[in-house]
Amino acid sequence: MKVLVETSARHIHLSVEHIEALFGKGATLTKKKDLSQPGQFACAEKVQLIGPKNTLMVSVLGPARKATQVELSFTDARTLGLKDVPVRESGDIAGTPGIKLVGPAGEVDLDEGVIIAKRHIHMTPEDAEAAGVKDKDIVSLVINSCGRSAILGDVVIRVSASFATAAHIDTDEANATAAFGECYGEIFR
Amino acid sequence: MKVLVETSARHIHLSVEHIEALFGKGATLTKKKDLSQPGQFACAEKVQLIGPKNTLMVSVLGPARKATQVELSFTDARTLGLKDVPVRESGDIAGTPGIKLVGPAGEVDLDEGVIIAKRHIHMTPEDAEAAGVKDKDIVSLVINSCGRSAILGDVVIRVSASFATAAHIDTDEANATAAFGECYGEIFR
C-alpha cells in the first residue's frame, strides 16, 4: 500500500500550564495552518530551546497536550548539545532529557520530554485493514527516491479513526532518503 | 559480507593552488590524523564556507587533489542556504554549485565543486571478489541498529588496491540509521 510520506521538522507540543508560563496568563495557541492529521495545527507561536551548547527556535504544534514534548532530530540534539536523547514514540517521555524553554512571557525548566520521534505511520482503521497491519505493528517503509532509495525499518503503525493515513519521518530521515516534495512510500512487512 | 560503516562529516578537499590561496604562498597541509583509507588524512587546517544564508567551518582532508571539492550533507546545504546541491560521486563535480571559501591568508571564489556525496563502499579487489561485486556496481547496505534499522539503496561500489574496505555515509544518513560508534553493515545485492 502506498502512503504519503511527510517530514516533521523539530517542534514542540505544550501543556496548558506551559502555554501560560511561556506566553502569559490566559494565553491560548494561534492556529497558523492545519496539518495533515485531523485537528492538529501549526501555531504562530514559537519557543526557544536553550541547550548546553546552542539554542534553537521551534514551532509550536497545537492543540495543547497533557504533557509538554519536544521532538528533535539527532542533528538538532547535537546542535543543542543534548546527549542521550532517545528514539521514542510520541507520549513515551518517562526518563527522557529535559531542556529550558523560553517564550515572550516567561521560561520553563522542563524536567523531561525531549525525544527523537520514532518513525511511524498514522493509519485509519480502513487503510490498516487494507494493508494487513494493526496498531503497534513494526513494519518497513520503502522510499524510492532519485539517488537515495531506502527501506526504513522499525516503523511503528498507529491506527486511529481520528488519523489520516500518512508516514512521518524526521528531517534526518528525509535527507537520508531524499524524500523531498510530494513523496510516497510503500509499506512492506 | 560485513563492512565497517563510517560517517563522513562535512569536509573539503583542496587543490595545491587553493591551499596556497587560503593558507599562504608555499603552504602545505598539516596532517592531524590518518583516516581509514590509506594515504588519506584529516588536517589541522580549517576553511570557512560562506553561504548565502550562513557560514560553516569545515575540516580539510589531505592530501591535495587536482580539483577542490566540498562535501556536505543536505542539512549543511540547507544551513548554508545553498540550493540544488546534487548527490554525486566524488570527483564528478561538473555543473555543481560553487561557494566562497575563506582561510587565514585569503579567499577563493569556487566556481563549482560542492556536492552531497553519494553513499559508497570502498573495497579492496579481494573483498570485492569475495562479495561478488565489482567497481561501479550499485548495491544495498543493510544497517541493523537499535531502533532505526534500514536498508540503504543506491550505494556505489568502488574498488581499488589502494582502498581499505569501508562504507561511507554522511551525517544525515548516520542519524537516520542510528549508525553511531563502531557500526557494521551488510552488502545486499
Say whether A87 and B147 touch across the interface (CB within 8 A): yes
- Nearest by CB to A172, from B119, B151, B172: name it: B172
In this prediction, residue A30 carries a pLDDT of: 98
- Residue A189 has what pLDDT? 84
Tell me how far apart the alpha carbons of residues B35 and B42 are, in angstroms, rounded to a whole number.
Answer: 7
For residue A181, give the C-alpha cell: 516534495
Residue to mutate among B120, B154, B186, with most A CBs inside 10 A, is B154
pLDDT of residue B60: 98
pLDDT digits (tens, 9 = 90+) for B59-84: 999 999 999 999 999 999 999 999 99
- Determine, for residues B153 and A154 on separate chains, whether the beta-carbon distance falls below 8 Å: no
A153 to B152: CB separation less than 8 angstroms, yes or no: no
pTM over 0.90: yes
Q: Is the dihedral of CA A17, A21, A25, A28 positive or negative?
A: negative
CA-closest candidate to residue A150, choices B120, B187, B154, B1: B154
> Mean pLDDT, to the nearest integer, of B47-52?
98
The complex's ipTM works out to: 0.94
Query: How close B51 comes to chain A (CA, Å)?
Result: 19
Any CB–CB contact under 8 A between A176 and chain B? yes
Q: Is A186 on the interface with B (CB under 8 A)?
A: no
Mean pLDDT of chain B: 97
**pLDDT tens, B37-47?**
999 999 999 99
CA distance A26 to chain B (A): 36
- Indicate yes or no: CB of B149 within 8 angstroms of CB of A153: yes
CB contact under 8 A, A175 and B178: no
Residue-wise pLDDT for A18-77, tens only, equals 999 999 999 999 999 999 999 999 999 999 999 999 999 999 999 999 999 999 999 999
- Do A74 and B175 make contact, defined as CB atoms within 8 angstroms? yes
Percent of chain A with pLDDT over 90: 97
Which residues in chain B have Cβ-Cβ distances shorter than 8 Å to A171?
75
Query: Binning pLDDT at 50, 70 and 90, where does residue B189 land?
Result: confident
Give dist(CA B33, CA B168) in Å, integer. 17
